Structure 1
Amino acid sequence: MALLVSAGIQDARTREIANWKNVVIGLLAPLWWVANGMPVWPDMLIQIAVASIVFGFFVGMFFIGQMGGGDVKMIGALALWFPLSLLVWMLAVMSIAGGVLTIVMMIERKILKKTTPLETPYGLAIAFASLLAVRELLFNHFGVIA
């Protein structure tokens, strides 16, 4: 969780997320799987496949200029952590939070009469949504997303 908070703060300050943070987030996921007794076949392989699809989709968003590379890597690493239903929920919350953050930044630009291009620190929205999803993993073992 500290890595998520750190990545969100770093993105807000610098508009970058350190690669090492995304690598650590991704590499810790298999330890989580093993600690929770997830079988290699088919569950771990399904988790990797879903994360690969999600990562591929967001790589496409990067190539059309809609997301930064650190954001894409962070989403891909986090996709390893969550079961499909929780991942979809996390992505929906992330999208809403990112939209709200973008609107707030647009209002700020208008008030301060800034002319520089808008760069939304989407890592904040990703971290926020992921922290809520982690809460589900840790405290809600009945499969109901609250």
Structure 2
Amino acid sequence: MSAWSIPALAALLALLLLVAAWGDLRTRTIPNGLNAMIALLAPLWWWAHALPLWPDVAIQIGAALLVFAIFAAAFAAGLMGGGDVKMVAALSLWLAPFAIAQMLVVMALAGGVLTIVVAAEHRLRRRDGQPEVPYGMAIAFAGLWLIANDILTSIGH
């Protein structure tokens, strides 16, 4: 792959995350096709980074499956939407295990702030039922945070 592959793929991932966040804000859904695109582009990311199938790609896939299992349990408990579960797992395919941990921390912090804002708005407007939190925004924010951090820390290296 060319020297532009990594920045181009990072930009494409950023665009997909922004589309997912905007769609989730507007409709409270993240299309399966969008999550599939995020997941299916990950092997190009691995190839651009020359990751060997064993053990690196296997670790990437295993870590993403673990993330999926954890968040699928949250979905089963009614704590998270299905699109959010698929999005966080698809994004995890792009990240090394330590970066996944960073993403989950940033996602949790952003999600907490987002939940407070949505709950306050729900209460101020005196709406019935539980507020629907567009958690895809927090997932996208965390992914964008990591992309930006990676770009900013690699300048001049």
- TM-score category, normalised to shorter length: over 0.9
TM-score w.r.t. length of structure 2: 0.86
- Name the residue aligned to 2:109: 96
**From 90, 97, 122, the counterpart of 1:77:** 90
Paired AA for residue 109 in structure 1:
H
- Name the residue aligned to 2:44: 31
Note the residue ranges of structure 1 that are not aligned, 5 or more in a row.
none
Note the residue ranges of structure 2 that are not aligned, 5 or more in a row.
1-13
Is the alpha carbon distance of 1:52 and 1:95 closer, same or farther for their aligned partners in structure 2, counting shifts above 3 Å? same
CA distance in 1, matches of 2:67, 2:129: 31
Is the alpha carbon distance of 1:37 and 1:140 closer, same or farther for their aligned partners in structure 2, counting shifts above 3 Å? farther
1:20-79, CA deviations, whole angstroms, 9 ceiling, x for partnerless residues? 110010011110010111111110001101110110110110000000000000001001
Residue 88 of structure 2 corresponds to residue 86 of structure 1: no
CA distance in 1, matches of 2:122, 2:39: 35
| 106-115 vs 56-65, greater mean Cα deviation | 106-115
CA distance in 2, matches of 1:54, 1:24: 18
Note the aligned Cα RMSD (angstroms): 1.3
Paired positions, count: 142
Residue 147 of structure 2 corresponds to residue 134 of structure 1: yes
